[in-house]
Structure 1
Amino acid sequence: MKKPLILVTNDDGITAPGLRTLIRIMKELGEVVVVAPDSPQSGMGHAITVDSTLFSKKVVVDHMEGAPNEYSCSGTPADCVKLALREILDRKPDICVSGINHGSNSSINVIYSGTMSAAIEAGIEGIPAIGFSLCDYSWEANFEPSVSMVKKIAKEALDNGIPKGTVLNVNIPKTNNPPKGIKVCRQARGNWNEKFDKRTSPSGKDYYWLTGEFELLDKGQDTDEWALSQGYVSLVPTQFDLTAHHAIPQINNWDF
């Protein structure tokens, strides 16, 4: 029997340590093909390249026996998945995994996440997909405590499938010890209190840096933020059908 074909991607770029860790884990589960951005694409959301040329090339990042086929892409994480499915792979992957992201994608962060948008793009194509993120933004983040959990979740998804129309948003707490376990959660309510740091260039032009602080608006003990604060891996089944079904009856009462 053929090994499962695993498409691996991310948003931090093809040389990111989180991606290299994810490749190593996935090689234990199946045949790996990597298609990832050639430079960091964090916060790109579900952007795609439509008004400029898209470039891709086969690359060698890790010089070792059994290294997977890897391709860099000049576009966004969603571009990487589109290109993989249409131009690079010779068959439909059994699963797409994205990450391991350097930084959290819990709560409202999922909306902005390039990591999760790559997984969602695969999910739209009917491919089981998972986005993995570690709550540590450092390039030197310690991914080792998360390895067993990432492998366990991916294996369960391969063995059991993922519900149709759903992708998994997995966040891993920053810790030097293995997480306590895995909690299936809902997305916590929260938002960013943002402001722009306004500066002036030597030529007299104004420019801005976006800054802000995350505000948790949810005290529930069934959320991703709660699970992470308690040392658990959070797993949120995320849907890409954005219809607010509960609002349809009320809006149908409007006088059109």
Structure 2
Amino acid sequence: MNKKPIILVTNDDGIVAPGIRALIHFMNLLGEVYVVAPSKPQSGVGHGITMNTVLYCDSVKIDNGNQKEWKCSGTPVDCVKLAISDILPRKPDICVSGINHGSNSSINIMYSGTVSAVLEASIEGIPSVGFSLLDFDWNADFEPSKKYVCYIVKKILYNSITEKKTIISLNVNIPKLKKEQIKGIRICRQAKSKWKESFDKRYNPKGRTYYWLVGDFVNFDKKIDTDEWALKNGYVSVVPIQFDLTNYTILNILKSWNLLLFFLFSLF
């Protein structure tokens, strides 16, 4: 490529989160960086968009990097939409989201604003990848992630998959380990899991009821080709993802109903 690739950076922890600041630093080594990220934490918003209130998006300067930055009052998906339609000089070559503070493996992908930004970019035909570090600490060490983040982004930017017009979107999770303890990368599928949840019911000083969502993560999938196995065994997990939620197995079963339904309806 004769010109530097344009890299769109976003997240769901907010534009000042250490994770996105680390990701911006890494991406400045690879291309021309534009940051459009939420002005405040948006964890757990999934693929939510802002419809009933106005959106604000203001240019900011947070550190001394070469990137151009905007903070947005909306969700991660709002950030991607605004960046593509109104802010960037052209469609970005890649959208990177994160680095999230905490896991987005297995079922967590359904709730993640980090991953939803990735999927929104893929809807627009943009290669994309979301990064998460399995450390919720605000002061987490993101340096061990650098090698893997840069490697994966470069593979997406220059790999033949992208050249064949196949839009690649990845969900990447990085174990909380020292650099020398990470064993490498595993290409995985999403583990079958769920959260066993309940609500902690409480009362405020005025007697009004309020609730805290609590729960335990339950992994039903013990096979070695999953993201959960990879992370527990010291690997970076890479799961290819898509926004098409069609269940193709059930689709083929339902298609077999057609003739039967025609026969049954003809009886009435």
Q: Same fold (TM over 0.5)?
A: yes
For structure 1, list consecutive stretches of 5 or more residues without a partner in the other structure. Answer: none
2:119 and 2:253 map into 1 onto residues whose CA distance is 29
Q: 1:152: which partner in 2?
A: 151
Render the CA deviation track for 1:74-94: whole Å, top value 9, x for unaligned.
000000000000110111100
Q: Distance in 2 between matches of 1:165 and 1:60?
A: 32
Q: Which residue of 2 aligns with 1:171?
A: 173
CA distance in 1, matches of 2:151, 2:97: 15
| CA distance in 2: counterparts of 1:73 and 1:164, whole angstroms | 30
Say whether the 8 Å CA contact 1:170–1:234 is kept in structure 2. yes
Q: How large is the Cα RMSD of the aligned pairs?
A: 1.2
Q: Deviations over 1:10-49 (max 9, x none)?
A: 0000000000000011011100000000000000000000
Report the Cα distance in structure 2 between the residues aligned to 1:249 and 1:93, rounded to whole angstroms. Answer: 37
Letter in 2 for 1:140: N
Tell me, yes or no, if the aligned pair for 2:7 and 2:96 is still in contact at 8 Å.
yes
Q: Distance in 2 between matches of 1:56 and 1:130?
A: 23
Structure showing greater radius of gyration is 2
Does the Cα contact within 8 Å between 1:122 and 1:129 map onto a contact in 2?
yes
Which residue does the alignment assign to 1:49? 50
Matched residue, 2:249:
246
User: For residues 64-103 of structure 1, what are the structure 2 equivalents within 5 Å?
Assistant: 64=64, 66-103=65-102
- Partners of 1:124 and 1:165 within 8 A in 2: no
> Cα offset for 1:201?
1.0
| Partner residue in 2 for 1:234 | 237
Q: Distance in 1 between matches of 2:66 and 2:202?
A: 46
Q: Out of 167, 171, 185, which is 1:182 matched to?
A: 185
1:48-99 Cα offsets, whole Å, 9 max, x none, are 001100001000110x2x4311000000000000000011011110000000
Counterpart of 2:128, as a letter, is A
- The corresponding residue for 1:123 is 122
Q: Show the counterpart of 1:203.
A: 206
Q: Match for 2:176: what amino acid?
A: K
Number of the residue aligned with 1:132: 131
2:241 alignment partner, SS class = strand
Which residue is equivalent to 1:194?
197
Amino acid at match of 2:115: M
Q: Is the 8 A contact 2:7 2:93 kept in 1?
A: yes
Task: Give the drift of 1:165.
Answer: 5.0
CA contact (8 A) 1:192 1:215 kept: yes
Give the TM-score normalised by the residue count of structure 1: 0.97
Percent pairwise identity:
59
Instruction: State how far apart, in whole Å, the 1-side matches of 2:95 and 2:251 are.
Output: 33
Q: Secondary structure at the match of 2:37?
A: strand
Query: How far, CA to CA, are the matches of 1:165 and 1:114 in structure 2?
Result: 20
Shift of 1:166: 4.1
Letter matched to residue 125 of structure 2: G
Q: TM-score, normalised by structure 2?
A: 0.92
Native 8 Å contact 1:8 1:96 kept in 2: yes
Rounded to whole Å, the distance in 1 between the matches of 2:256 and 2:148 is 47
In structure 2, list runs of 5 or more residues that go unmatched.
263-268
| Greater share of residues in helix | 2
2: CA distance, partners of 1:177 / 1:195:
37
Structure 1, residues 178-227: CA drift from partner, whole Å, max 9, x if none? 42100000000000000000001111110000000100000100000000
Q: 1:249 & 1:73 partners in 2: Cα distance? A: 43
- Please tell me the residue identity of whatever aligns with 2:87: I
